[in-house]
Amino acid sequence: MMLASILLQVATPEFDTGRTGFMLLATSLVMLMTPGLAFFYGGLAGKRNILGIMMQSFVSMGWTTVLWWMFGYSLCFSGGEGGIFGNFDKSFMSGVDLHSPFMLNGVQTNLPEFVFMAYQMMFAIITPALITGAFVNRVTFKSYLIFLTVWQILVYYPFVHMIWGGGLLSQWGVFDFAGGIVVHATAGFAALASVLYVGARKDKQSPPNSIPLIAIGTGLLWFGWYGFNAGSELDVDAITGLAFLNTDIAASFATVTWLVIEWSRDKKPKFVGLMTGSVAGLATITPCAGFVPLWAAPIIGIAAGAVCYLAVNFKNKIGWDDALDVWGVHGMGGVTGTILLGVFASATVNPAIPDGLFFGGTTLFFKQLASVVGASIYAFIFTYIMLILINMVTPVKVSEQDEIKGLDESIHGEKAYDEGVL
């Protein structure tokens, strides 16, 4: 037994234990964000739709993992240089074993590929789950499972490959540190398309069932976001620390900005608004975290709080029933952060990126603007058409009777609370 262990150590490449340990921790933090999202959305939902919205997050943890193992990872990170998709060479993790190092831009690293695969899998899990807050209590579970599958394959996977997998946008010079385009812009504008397709709720006045549950979800999301952003450096160095601190500062400034704006308008400091502002700040700093100087984080956070607050108010005035403000917070946060990356990016801070507008560069700004607008439009149009096609296979919208009754009981046959508790 000892001899086998010694032989294995000799045969295994020299992986950096510190880097590997940190990335496993970051992977665990990002995994925790999906239950955090479930708590966040579950608290915001009406009391008859708590389990339905939470289950949509948790089922992604299972089914997305299956897809990622089968072919998702391969389509995102195998071959396809300069293209839209990768290839199927690493389907079912073919060729990836204990000895496989992660290859970064064609260069062998001291990080096991298993760990990189797991880290990116957690991003794939939470991205489609973000969309679900927009159509809470209006979509059948069967249609959601089809949506979860097709949307990942034809929206999420292409943008992962094009930006992070050496594909088309990466070759063109587009940057996204941790998911402003790949995660938030695509999910946010897919959410808007979903809202316009399924229509408004019968009861728009359904209040959050549990603000403490929202607080638990917010805390888990904020905590997990350190793995989301700092982990995206894929190493342990000064940029890792910068991304960590930028994340916290931007989220904090966005939290205070949202609180101040809402307090001045409504004459009361709202806890739900404060928490929504923090998520807006987290989403907005995501594409910038490891590319901008520390002094830019407060500016990005203030912009996040103001822009996302105005977007949510615009949505309310125009009558879009995005129940949990996915478009206003994640969609507009992702767009804002991606554009501001084109403004505040600094090659001095991170040599991997050219300077943005503030430092005299212009090219990056226009590439960031064009890419995020293009990605948002594609995600919106594709999602709307996809829902039409799914509806030809199975109904997307729940019946009016089921919606009024609540999806927890009508679809899942369960209740979050005993009778009389709420």
311-325: per-residue pLDDT in tens? 999 999 999 999 999
Give the HSE-up count for residue 384: Cα atoms under 13 Å, Cβ half-sphere.
12
Domain assignment present for 254: yes
Query: For residue 355, what are the contacts with CB-CB under 8 A and spacing of at least 6?
Result: 345, 346, 347, 361, 364
CATH number (domain holding residue 260): 1.10.3430.10
Could you give the dihedral angle defined by the CA atoms of residues 283, 286, 288 and 292, in that order, rounded to the nearest 10 degrees? 100
Domain assignment present for 417: no
> How many domains does the chain divide into?
1
Query: For residue 179, what are the contacts with CB-CB under 8 A and spacing of at least 6?
Result: 123, 127, 228, 232, 286, 287, 334
Q: Tell me if 250 sits within 8 A of 308, measured CB to CB.
A: no
Query: For residue 273, what are the contacts with CB-CB under 8 A and spacing of at least 6?
Result: 258, 259, 262
Q: Tell me if 304 sits within 8 A of 333, measured CB to CB.
A: yes
- pLDDT band, residue 419 (cuts 50/70/90): low
pTM of the model: 0.94
Q: State the angle between helix axes of 141-151 and 113-131 in degrees (0 to 180), rounded to the nearest 10.
A: 130
Domain assignment present for 93: no
Domain assignment present for 307: yes
Q: What is the pLDDT of residues 146-198, one digit of tens each?
A: 999 999 999 999 999 999 999 999 999 999 999 999 999 999 999 999 999 99
Q: What is the pLDDT of residue 420?
A: 56
Domain assignment present for 313: yes
Give the length of the chain.
Answer: 422
Query: For residue 133, what are the contacts with CB-CB under 8 A and spacing of at least 6?
Result: 41, 44, 53, 191, 322, 323, 324, 325, 326
Domain assignment present for 269: yes
Average pLDDT, the chain: 94
* Amino acid at the residue 335: V
Residue range of the domain that includes 376: 14-81+114-127+138-410
Domain assignment present for 204: yes
Q: Tell me if 95 sits within 8 A of 2, measured CB to CB.
A: no
Tell me how far CA of residue 266 lies from CA of 185, 258, 307, 321, in angstroms.
29, 12, 18, 21
Domain assignment present for 67: yes
Q: What is the pLDDT of residues 228-267, one digit of tens each?
A: 999 999 999 999 999 999 999 999 999 999 999 999 999 9
